[in-house]
Chains A and B, each alone.
Chain A
Amino acid sequence: AQTVTQSQPEMSVQEAETVTLSCTYDTSENNYYLFWYKQPPSRQMILVIRQEAYKQQNATENRFSVNFQKAAKSFSLKISDSQLGDTAMYFCAFMKRTYMEYGNKLVFGAGTILRVKS
């Protein structure tokens, strides 16, 4: 079974600064995806960024980038130029990749609350 661990229950950052959220996971799978989802106070789950395990290049989406270390099973999220709207709970999630015709479940970490201060 896969597990996802987010060791930082809460983080805070000043507006315009950079913050890094940590995530580690445990799996025996070789093919998988990793995701960061954002959950603002509205509680909607919003995809932030996605990484395929077979890709060595770290994914980036505008101000969001990841540091994917496959051997260390680490997947951290860096938010640059933090904005007040980034205030949310951030969940790291794992999904194994199969070639069978069924959907694969996401396994979530416990989440990190990020507060951006003005």
Chain B
Amino acid sequence: EPEVTQTPSHQVTQMGQEVILRCVPISNHLYFYWYRQILGQKVEFLVSFYNNEISEKSEIFDDQFSVERPDGSNFTLKIRSTKLEDSAMYFCASSELFGGSTDTQYFGPGTRLTVL
């Protein structure tokens, strides 16, 4: 069964460093998302992406964050200058289309980001 994959599973970085989190969505999916979950807290929406542009972003997704689909398969989240409070689990998700059962978002296994 097709699934969303994410790499790395765990990333440790120093405060102020740039990180890139990678995701490979399900191959026929057109909508891509990033969510994050700070330990012990709820899952929060960061950004949605369709047709090579951001469709919606939350207030968390400030200028330090960017997303890109550099090729036909990868979807990346970049954090330019990491802060301690960026430590969280980052989930990538994808959905096939909008409307009907194809709206369902399927999640990757997550990348645990630890900022020291």
Chain A residues close to B by CB (< 8 Å) = 33, 35, 37, 42-47, 50, 91, 93, 95, 97-111
B32 located at the interface, meaning its Cβ lies under 8 Å from any Cβ of chain A in the complex: yes
Chain B residues close to A by CB (< 8 Å) = 31-33, 35, 41-45, 48-51, 55-56, 58, 89, 91, 93, 95, 98-99, 101, 103-110, 112
The majority secondary structure among interface residues of chain B is strand
* Max chain B Cβ within 10 angstroms of own Cβ: one of A35, A42, A101, A106: A106
Q: In the bound complex, do residue B50 and residue A108 qualify as a contact, i.e. CB atoms below 8 Å apart?
A: no
**Whole-angstrom distance between the Cβ of A79 and the nearest chain B Cβ:** 20
Q: Knowing A109-B42, A111-B42 are in contact, say whether A103-B110 is a contact too (CB < 8 A).
A: no
Q: In the bound complex, do residue A43 and residue B89 qualify as a contact, i.e. CB atoms below 8 Å apart?
A: yes
Residues of B within 8 A of A50 (CB): 101, 104
Cα separation A47 to B93 with both chains bound (whole Å): 11
**Whole-angstrom distance between the Cβ of B74 and the nearest chain A Cβ:** 18
Can you show 16 pairs from A to B with CB atoms below 8 A apart?
A37-B107, A43-B112, A44-B107, A44-B108, A45-B43, A45-B93, A47-B106, A91-B43, A95-B103, A102-B55, A103-B31, A103-B95, A103-B98, A105-B48, A106-B35, A106-B93
